[in-house]
Amino acid sequence: MPSTANVDNQSLRSFLRMVETDYPQEFLRIRKPVNTRFEMTAIVFELERAGKSPIVIFENPISENPIFGNQIFGNQSANSMPVVTNVAANRTLLAACLGVEPKDLPTAFRERCQKYIPCELVREAASKGGYFTSEKGDVFQGPSEEVTDDNGNTSVNASDPYATREPFTVEYEIEQPKFVDWFKKPVRIPALLPQLGLPDPPAKPAPGAAIAPIDLGTPLEVETHMTLHLPPGTTASLPTGTSVQRDYATFASQYSAKGLTITASRHINFLLRQVPTERATDYTAFLRAVQNDQAQDFTLNRESPAPSPASPPGKP
């Protein structure tokens, strides 16, 4: 039996810690970069063919999907979040999680399914980070959740990720005093939109080596919008919008201003999973157009306050 004295059976982290401590032969960490598209599944299949079913943690997954990079919309690189898999593939570990012998697993599992553990309601959460909860206390149970920071200046609204027939949306509002230095003339700021990640163009191959096609990942459509409110007396010069159309992807951006309100939007639509090798030059031009658009700034000018009239000289 495992040493379950300090194991929280409702916590994945505690379960993984117990397995790594008490069943090291059933725990595998892979620190080298592994592609999420095929390589992870292939590794698990190969372990199964060898008669092994350990828990596997991939510490450096590489995403095929441009939206899942090292930022909200990062590039095709190693993610900051590890991936754990094969959690329920081993009867010994499942029995250890329930605190019973493997031979008693079917009976214990049936009993646990018929006897639910009541939820505990608390006034203060142990963690006050960026998590989403509803009024009922359900995590990610929409349609709209809100998070504020310690100063109450940032709010986030996210739609229900389980409503897969609807687009997943995230809205946030930020208020930051002294965001710009008005003593600089002029003031330049970016569009304050998440960066839309695109795979890098293929590197120059070694002599005689074949060039692989450019993987765009699963077809995906991403729209980002921004509304910026300027202080009185401020005027803005806008970037130029961009529109690029290809059969594998499209990109369009728009920038506008009305009074003291600036709006910006960018829309990218990945239509194909791959760009053929012979079109690498065309893809590089598409990528450059997107990057040049995202590098554009707004130019802000603010009227200096009129000087106060001089006071009349005092009488002697």
* pLDDT tens by residue, 1-58: 555 444 455 678 888 888 988 999 999 999 888 888 788 999 999 999 999 999 999 9
- Read off the pLDDT of residues 206-259 as tens digits, 9 standing for 90 and up: 777 777 888 888 888 999 999 998 888 888 999 999 999 999 999 999 999 999
At 261 the pLDDT is 93
Percent of the chain with pLDDT over 90: 28
Please check whether residues 20 and 105 belong to one and the same domain: yes
Q: Is residue 133 part of a domain?
A: no
Q: Kind of pairing, strands 34-35 and 61-62?
A: parallel
Residue 135 resides in a domain: no
Give the pLDDT of residue 264.
95
Closest CA to 199 of 47, 35, 85: 35
Average pLDDT over residues 133-158: 49
Across 149-172, average pLDDT: 73
Selected residue with higher pLDDT from 117 and 213: 213
Q: Are both 231 and 242 inside the same structural domain?
A: yes
Neighbours of 15 (CB within 10 A): 21
Q: What is the pLDDT of residue 241?
A: 94
Report, as an integer, the average pLDDT of 185-206: 83
Domain membership of residue 157 (yes or no) is yes
Q: Which CATH number fits the domain that encloses residue 294?
A: 2.60.120.1130
Retrieve residue 228's tokens: 């910026």
Give the structural domain span for 39.
12-114
Query: Are 184 and 297 in the same domain?
Result: yes
Residue 307 scores a pLDDT above 80: no
Q: Are residues 197 and 249 in the same domain?
A: yes
Which pLDDT score is estimated for 142? 38
Residues 185, 282: one domain? yes
Looking at the structure, do residues 150 and 183 belong to the same domain, yes or no?
no
Do 229 and 252 sit in the same domain of this protein? yes
**pLDDT band per the 50, 70, 90 thresholds, residue 308:** low
pLDDT at 176 over 60: yes
| Percentage above 70 pLDDT, the chain | 77
Q: Give the separation between CA 141 and CA 281, rounded to whole angstroms.
A: 45
Residue 313 lies in a domain: no
pLDDT of residue 313: 55
- Check if the beta carbon of residue 188 is closer than 8 Å to that of residue 298: yes
Q: What is the pLDDT of residue 115?
A: 80
Coil vs helix vs strand at 97: helix
75 within a domain of the structure (yes/no): yes
Task: Tell me which of 97, 114, 131 is where a domain ends.
Answer: 114
Q: Tell me whether residue 136 is in a domain.
A: no
20 plus 109 within the same structural domain: yes
How many structural domains compose the chain?
A: 3
Is 263 contained in some domain?
Answer: yes
Query: Residue 113 and residue 108: Cα distance in Å, rounded?
Result: 9
Do 223 and 172 have their domain in common?
Answer: no
Domain shared by 162 and 255, yes or no: no
106 shares its domain with 62: yes
In a domain, 279, yes or no: yes
- Report pLDDT digits (tens) over 255-289: 999 999 999 999 999 999 899 988 999 999 999 99
pLDDT at 249: 94
Both 155 and 225 in a single domain? no
